[in-house]
Structure 1
């Protein structure tokens, strides 16, 4: 393991792939004390996350490090704390609210699209995705526009997460006063202040009886004595990670893959023209909630992107009791690592697994086993509470951005993946835009 540390730091995804290729679906790491095991088969993931989920908890090094930022938010909490938080937050993600998510997603994408050069040019789609998804979170989950307080909250979250990832990859004694630990303390202090300011601003506006956004639900829980004020802070920070950064990641990688695979982009463009009436220079009307059923290819592109670049690329669990997984006896205290990134690349389930092929997700393209292995949002009771929110948002933002423009790679630019808490493009992701020809004319080439 000591010898493996440089490889883990440089390329954690490649490290996991090499382990599975060399040792198979169950790999024990040579670690002291409690066992640590990489599980790579769909059956193993199903056993841990679905069939016997009560036997597996979240008190792992991964979530322990993350909790330094999120506290006991939904992402890291376990047991009764998690159940109470989930019950409190659930109404904010009810399907009846998805129409509002759709409306705000299209509006945020429209504002982003208005900043793009009409005649084409190079833009950082990652920065744009982060801004658009932050606006959607602010308006749908926080109940208002994201102000400077919200942007400070996001910046502090991202800085703290960067430090946390470094700590996980290079563990050092907790007492050692490293620059990274001092940086983490500063970021968390900024988080606390920014979260408090977001809450104070919402308190000043007042809560109305019909307010059903997440922040309103959390504030009522605090007022009722069901949630401590620090719990409210933890859920705000968790929402920034799970409801903002992950969706931005999905949108960025979808645009990247469509730029790389022009044939797939042409199929999406053809659908957008048919559904939205792409007859004018703006690409027809804006998409809406009612169009989602018709945007089959657009959603399939998002789902295939989530297969290749699942934002939550690794999850972990700790055995609360003895269990048998993939025929291997695992004692209580064992930590297991499950990587959707590996599950999604099994050739027997996803032929040509490295190829971006959105048709897999159209109609009955995926078999039952492949559907079971497809876990970009987790599985079982801990399935991401915001799955439908994220899919609606990403699909409609993508449709609005591409109804009048096409995206293309920037010649000579290398796209590199940073496997952090989510999968992020290192130093942003720049694409070249071009105005798109209409109704069956295909995708135009950049000037």
Structure 2
């Protein structure tokens, strides 16, 4: 089948408008299954019926590398998905397009420097310990725990301590509620190929306006508190908030970066941790091997250097991110004519890349649906078949922080508790929102280890 996807027939197969109309409800309910079925039916390049330039789903590794890395300057973030995100975050680092994102990246980079990550490792460990002690303390005798809710609390606490050098407990509930609402709205707005006018009085737009006001108020409180606190030398601290204040940015720009970091920093890590814990609950040998590795490790865990010091733990994290990448879709739009899969595409072409699909390619991964951490031992799986944090110049700035936080949480929890699946276990369905979350949570059976066999705190 050939699809007329704009003024030029580029000869790419895909669904017809009637196909899309028939699939509308299923696309909204389960976009991951829809994308998977589209590639199975039409191949590695699929054209969706939209007016104007083509909209292409890309699943070939060479095309993915071209769009995200080789020709990244030609493919920007001027897409409906990032426009929807920007309506919540403002033009922050995650949603900004060329050329402003370079300036945002320059301002945020010092907060994620290796020295800074080393310095805040203790804060992340303390955040994990505090949440685990609150919910799995001495009085916890074992039982079913929704670990998805648990990892969300840990993720927010870690972001608060590491990026803002403070526990956000006073703002945590409001911040979590607001960011959760924002995530729902971003997904609703971003699933359309065509934008919805921001001024239209739709229910989603009305809710979005309310959510933005809540996020504005919380951010204003954080900024005002830090300005009042200050330091003796007039600086505001070496965390992200302090660095942004010292940069001279106006409060609105600082607010945009804070909201961006909170949404990106806790939403994705929390979801990835929930799936990782599920995989370990299903695979007792893998779990025991991780516990033994932690028990045999001397010194602090920290946010960096896990591949060398804790190779199995890091392999578990890498494999979990392969099977359940939080960022399930990446979109780019071309600013000039280009060539994809041997076909010329016009300027304005929309490219959609799904790590969820790329990570399941049988030609890139043996037994691609199986949980096999050993595939990551002794190697760093390179692009283009592995992209949980994107690729190229837009590689996620918080990658090392996210990986380190996952390792820290796993080592803290599994040092004192054993994970199992409950009786009658069935995996929760993946729900594609801003990140891929388990539908209905992740109820797992946690049992405290006997004190005589507990791993020493790393």
The equivalent residue for 1:358 is 373
Q: Deviations over 1:346-403 (max 9, x none)?
A: 112111111111111111385x5xx432100111110011111111111111111101
SS at match of 1:418: strand
The equivalent residue for 1:187 is 211
The equivalent residue for 1:279 is none
The equivalent residue for 1:330 is 345
The equivalent residue for 2:387 is 375
Paired residues, number: 427
Larger displacement relative to structure 2 (167-176 or 155-164):
167-176
Question: Aligned partners of 1:178 and 1:26: how far apart in 2?
Answer: 34
The equivalent residue for 2:76 is 57
Give me the CA root mean square deviation.
Answer: 2.3
Residue 442 (structure 2) pairs with residue 429 (structure 1) = yes
SS at match of 1:372: coil
Aligned pairs for 1:266-305 (under 5 A) are 266-275=288-297, 287-288=301-302, 292=306, 293-305=308-320
**Do the aligned partners of residues 31 and 408 (structure 1) sit closer, same or farther apart at CA in structure 2, a change above 3 Å counting?**
same
Question: Aligned partners of 2:118 and 2:436: how far apart in 1?
Answer: 28
Task: State the 1:441 CA deviation.
Answer: 11
Larger displacement relative to structure 2 (402-411 or 113-122):
113-122
**Do the aligned partners of residues 186 and 217 (structure 1) sit closer, same or farther apart at CA in structure 2, a change above 3 Å counting?**
same
Aligned counterpart for 2:243 among listed residues 209, 217, 223: 217
Question: Aligned partners of 1:328 and 1:266: how far apart in 2?
Answer: 50
**Do the aligned partners of residues 288 and 53 (structure 1) sit closer, same or farther apart at CA in structure 2, a change above 3 Å counting?**
closer
Moved >4 Å (runs of 4+): 170-173, 285-291, 437-442
**Do the aligned partners of residues 123 and 157 (structure 1) sit closer, same or farther apart at CA in structure 2, a change above 3 Å counting?**
same
Larger displacement relative to structure 2 (44-53 or 159-168):
159-168
Q: Is the 8 A contact 1:153 1:195 kept in 2?
A: no
The equivalent residue for 2:253 is 231
Question: Aligned partners of 2:418 and 2:218: how far apart in 1?
Answer: 37
SS at match of 1:79: coil
The equivalent residue for 1:157 is 179
Larger displacement relative to structure 2 (12-21 or 99-108):
99-108
The equivalent residue for 2:17 is none
**Do the aligned partners of residues 377 and 288 (structure 1) sit closer, same or farther apart at CA in structure 2, a change above 3 Å counting?**
closer
Question: Aligned partners of 2:440 and 2:304: how far apart in 1?
Answer: 36
Question: Aligned partners of 2:320 and 2:312: how far apart in 1?
Answer: 12
Residue 52 (structure 2) pairs with residue 33 (structure 1) = yes
**Do the aligned partners of residues 312 and 436 (structure 1) sit closer, same or farther apart at CA in structure 2, a change above 3 Å counting?**
same
Q: Is the 8 A contact 1:74 1:86 kept in 2?
A: yes
Question: Aligned partners of 1:345 and 1:5: how far apart in 2?
Answer: 24
Question: Aligned partners of 2:115 and 2:65: how far apart in 1?
Answer: 29
Q: Is the 8 A contact 2:415 2:454 kept in 1?
A: no
SS at match of 2:327: coil
Residue 281 (structure 2) pairs with residue 240 (structure 1) = no
Task: State the 1:63 CA deviation.
Answer: 0.6
Task: State the 1:253 CA deviation.
Answer: 1.2
Question: Aligned partners of 1:228 and 1:4: how far apart in 2?
Answer: 45
The equivalent residue for 1:416 is 429
The equivalent residue for 1:319 is 334
Aligned counterpart for 1:406 among listed residues 395, 410, 418: 418
Larger displacement relative to structure 2 (296-305 or 179-188):
179-188
Segments of 5+ residues of structure 2 without an aligned counterpart are 1-19
Aligned pairs for 1:86-235 (under 5 A) are 86-114=105-133, 115-116=135-136, 118-169=140-191, 174=197, 176-207=200-231, 209=235, 211-222=237-248, 227-235=249-257
TM-score by length of 1: 0.90
Q: Is the 8 A contact 1:273 1:438 kept in 2?
A: no
The equivalent residue for 1:342 is 357
Task: State the 1:143 CA deviation.
Answer: 2.0
Larger displacement relative to structure 2 (346-355 or 86-95):
346-355
Segments of 5+ residues of structure 1 without an aligned counterpart are 277-284, 443-447
**Do the aligned partners of residues 230 and 154 (structure 1) sit closer, same or farther apart at CA in structure 2, a change above 3 Å counting?**
same
The equivalent residue for 1:4 is 23
Q: Deviations over 1:165-200 (max 9, x none)?
A: 123336785365232222111111111111111111
Question: Aligned partners of 1:439 and 1:260: how far apart in 2?
Answer: 24
Task: State the 1:128 CA deviation.
Answer: 1.4
Question: Aligned partners of 1:148 and 1:188: how far apart in 2?
Answer: 19
